C-alpha cells in the first residue's frame, strides 16, 4: 500500500512531499496528519536539503479534514475535549513545522485546497498555483470557526484584513484568478506546468547562498510580528553582519566582481 505522505528527492537539495490520498482529494485523517508531522520532522534534520515542494497527488491539493472520518467518529465513538484538543494541535502542528523548517517551502497547489489543506498552503513560504486551484475556508461552513490551523493568522497578513474578513465570514471559495489578483500566490500557471514551474522557481532561490536563504526566511517570518520598526531593523542588522562573516559572502562578492557564478560551500 502506498504511503499517504510520500517523500522523494528531486536532487540532494530539493525534496518533494506529496499528499497521497487522491480518491479522497488528499483529505487528512488523523493518521495522515501524524505521518505528515513525522515527515516534516525528518526533513528538518536533513543537512543537505535546502528546499521542499509540497503538492497533492491527483486532481486536488488537499480537501482539508476527512469529514466522512470525523462524522463516523461523531456517530460511533465521539472524542472528548482532551482528545479533540490533542488532534487540533497536531493539525496546527503541520503549519508550525513548515514555518520552523530551515528549508524554504514552496506549495504547488493543484485543484481544491480547503480547510487544513489551505492552512498548509498558507504556511508555506511561497505558493505557486495551477489554474485548477480553488481555495476554501471550509470549517465555517461545517459549524466550526474559520480560525483553523493558523488561517486567521496567515490570511490577513497575505491579503489584508478587510478581504480576509469577508472570505472567512462567508466561507466562499477563492478561484485561481482571484488568488493571483489579491496576492495569495506568487505565480499562476497552467496545470501541466505546475511542478516544472515550482522546481524552476525553487532553483532560482537556491542560486543564493544557503545562509542567505535560510536567514531571509527567518527574518521574514519574525518581522511579520515585529513590535516596531526598530525591532525589525535590529534583527536585520545582526543577521546581516553574521552573513558578512561567512565564506559564502566573500565568494559571492568575488564572483560578482569576476562576472561568474558563485560556488557556495555553506560556510
Contacts of 188 (CB under 8 A, 6+ apart): 129, 130, 131, 133, 176, 177, 179, 180
Classify residue 266: in a domain, yes or no.
no
Q: Domain of 45: which CATH number?
A: 3.90.226.10
**Domain shared by 161 and 46, yes or no:** yes
Classify residue 154: in a domain, yes or no.
yes
**Domain shared by 177 and 221, yes or no:** no
**Domain shared by 115 and 223, yes or no:** no
Classify residue 243: in a domain, yes or no.
yes
pLDDT confidence of residue 2:
77
**What's the rounded mean pLDDT across residues 167-172?**
95
Q: Which of 66, 113, 55 is nearest to 74 (CA)?
A: 66
**Domain shared by 56 and 128, yes or no:** yes
pLDDT digits (tens, 9 = 90+) for 132-162: 999 999 888 888 899 889 999 999 999 999 9
pTM: 0.94
Instruction: Read off the pLDDT band of 74 (50, 70, 90).
Output: confident
Which H or E element spans position 185?
Answer: none
Domain span at residue 219 reads 210-258
Question: Number of folded domains in the chain?
Answer: 2
Classify residue 124: in a domain, yes or no.
yes
Amino acid at each position: 500500500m502506498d504511503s499517504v505522505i510520500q517523500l522523494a528527492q528531486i536532487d540532494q537539495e530539493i525534496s518533494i512531499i506529496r499528499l497521497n490520498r487522491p480518491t479522497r482529494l488528499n483529505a487528512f485523517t488523523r493518521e495522515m496528519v501524524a505521518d505528515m508531522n513525522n515527515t516534516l520532522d525528518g526533513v528538518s534534520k536533513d543537512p543537505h536539503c535546502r528546499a521542499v515542494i509540497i503538492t497533492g497527488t491527483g486532481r486536488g491539493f488537499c480537501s482539508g479534514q476527512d469529514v466522512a472520518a470525523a462524522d463516523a467518529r461523531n456517530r460511533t465513538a465521539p472524542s472528548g475535549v482532551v482528545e479533540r484538543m490533542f488532534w487540533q494541535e497536531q493539525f496546527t502542528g503541520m503549519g508550525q513545522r513548515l514555518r520552523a523548517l530551515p528549508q524554504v517551502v514552496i506549495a504547488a497547489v493543484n485543484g481544491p485546497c480547503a480547510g487544513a489543506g489551505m492552512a498548509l498552503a498558507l504556511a508555506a513560504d511561497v505558493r505557486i498555483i495551477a489554474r485548477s486551484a480553488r481555495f476554501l475556508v471550509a470549517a465555517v461552513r461545517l459549524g466550526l470557526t474559520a480560525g483553523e490551523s493558523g488561517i486567521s493568522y496567515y490570511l490577513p497578513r497575505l491579503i489584508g484584513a478587510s478581504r480576509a474578513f469577508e472570505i472567512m465570514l462567508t466561507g466562499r471559495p477563492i478561484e485561481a484568478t482571484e488568488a493571483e489578483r489579491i496576492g495569495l500566490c506568487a505565480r499562476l500557471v497552467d496545470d501541466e506546468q505546475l511542478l516544472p514551474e515550482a522546481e524552476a522557481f525553487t532553483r532560482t532561490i537556491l542560486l543564493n547562498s544557503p545562509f542567505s536563504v535560510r536567514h531571509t526566511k527567518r527574518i521574514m517570518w519574525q518581522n511579520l510580528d515585529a513590535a516596531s520598526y526598530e525591532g525589525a531593523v535590529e534583527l536585520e542588522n545582526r543577521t546581516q553582519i553574521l552573513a558578512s562573516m561567512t565564506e559564502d559572502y566573500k565568494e559571492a562578492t568575488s564572483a560578482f566582481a569576476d562576472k561568474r557564478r558563485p560556488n557556495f560551500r555553506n560556510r
